[in-house]
Amino acid sequence: MPLAYRRLVVKIGSNVLTQDNGLPDLARMEQLVAQVAGLKAQGMEVIMVSSGAVAAGRSLITLPAKTDAVRGRQLLAAVGQVKLLSTYAELFGRHGLLCAQVLVTKEDFRDRQHYLNMRNCFQELLQREVIPIVNENDVIAVTELMFTDNDELAGLIAAQLDADALVILTNVDGIFDGDPRLPTSQLLREIAPTATGFANFVTAQRSQFGRGGMLTKCHMAHKVAKLGISVHIANGKTADILPAVLAETAAHTWFRPSKTASGKKKWLANSQDSAKAAVRVNAGAVAALTAAGKASSLLPVGVLAIEGAFRKGDIIRLTDEKGHLLGLGIAEYGSDKALERLGQQHQRPLVHYDYLFLTPNLA
CA angle 39, 42, 44 (to 5 degrees): 60
For residue 135, the cross-strand partners are 103
Whole-number Å distance between alpha carbons of 165 and 232: 8
150 belongs to an annotated ligand binding site:
yes
For residue 45, the cross-strand partners are 7
Q: Report yes or no: 188 and 253 within 8 Å, Cβ to Cβ.
A: yes
Whole-number Å distance between alpha carbons of 164 and 6: 7
- The Cβ of residue 292 has, within 10 Å, a number of other Cβ atoms equal to 5
Angle between helices 69-93 and 26-41 (to 10 degrees): 50
**Strand-pair category, 315-319 with 325-330:** antiparallel
Q: Distance from CA of residue 322 to its chain's centroid?
A: 28
Whole-number Å distance between alpha carbons of 114 and 220: 23
Whole-number Å distance between alpha carbons of 350 and 118: 29
E-strand stretches of the chain = 7-12, 45-50, 98-104, 130-136, 165-170, 190-191, 230-235, 253-255, 277-281, 303-307, 315-319, 325-330, 356-358
335 belongs to an annotated ligand binding site:
no
11 belongs to an annotated ligand binding site:
yes
CA angle 227, 39, 164 (to 5 degrees): 10
CA dist 219 → 38, 95, 198, 225 (Å): 30, 36, 10, 10
Residue 176 main-chain phi, psi, to 5 deg:
-110, 160
Q: Report yes or no: 294 and 356 within 8 Å, Cβ to Cβ.
A: no
Q: Distance from CA of residue 295 to its chain's centroid?
A: 25
Q: What is the DSSP letter of 149?
A: -
Whole-number Å distance between alpha carbons of 216 and 152: 8
265 belongs to an annotated ligand binding site:
no
**Annotated binding residues:** 11, 51, 138, 150
**Annotated binding residues for ATP:** 11
**Annotated binding residues for substrate:** 51, 138, 150
